[in-house]
Every structure is written in C-alpha cells, then in structure tokens.
Amino acid sequence: MNTKAGNLLKAQGYAILPLEGVKKKMKRIYYHPGTGLPTCPLPADKYHERRYLSRGFTLEPPIKQFTCDICGKEFTAKIALVGHKRTHEK
C-alpha cells in the first residue's frame, strides 16, 4: 500500500499497523575508487559489502591531499597549505 492510500484510510478511521517480521533493507554510502565520490545508498548486507569492498569502493571518504606547487609538500587541510605558501613569499 502506498503512502497516499494509507493516509486516506487513516483519515477514514482505519488503523494501519506495521507488518510484523518485515525487515528494512540496510543501505549505506560507499565511495568510488579513484574519484572518491559518494554513491547513492547501496545495499549494506554482508554479501554486498564484501562485493563493493573487493571492487575497490571504501566505507570512508578519502582524505584529500593539497600539494604546494612550489616545494611539493603535502597537506590534508587547505588552510595549512595557505599558511605554508606564505613562508615562500618571505
């Protein structure tokens, strides 16, 4: 039954009870290998989790690295890179 029909029945005084034994499918966001972009929510049961992880997807977003174009030093925060670049100006 869709939400609209359920709301109509509730308005007419019928009690809509949740079905017993029906489980919601667990979903989670994975991150693409290479690009690090998030996926739409995908199945999160043990089978699918192993399947996505074996294909290179990750559960955590990748840490973005910022590299100084002058000396090549890497930073994880852009604000740290900006402060570092000021040392090259002196």
> What three-state secondary structure class fits 62?
coil
Regarding whether 77 and 50 lie in a shared domain, the answer is no
Q: Which residues pair with 74 in a beta bridge?
A: 67
pLDDT at 89: 79
31-81 confidence digits (pLDDT tens): 998 888 899 999 999 999 999 999 999 998 888 788 898 898 888 788 888
pLDDT of residue 42: 93
State which residues form the domain around 44: 22-59
User: For residue 24, is pLDDT > 80?
Assistant: no
Residue 14 lies in a domain: no
Q: Are residues 55 and 67 in the same domain?
A: no
Q: Are residues 55 and 73 in the same domain?
A: no
Per-residue pLDDT at 8: 76
**Dihedral over Cα of 65, 66, 71, 72: its sign:** positive
In a domain, 40, yes or no: yes
Q: Which residue has the higher pLDDT, 23 or 79?
A: 79
In a domain, 87, yes or no: yes
Q: Are 29 and 39 in contact (CB under 8 A)?
A: yes
Domain total in the chain: 2
User: What pLDDT is attached to residue 39?
Assistant: 92
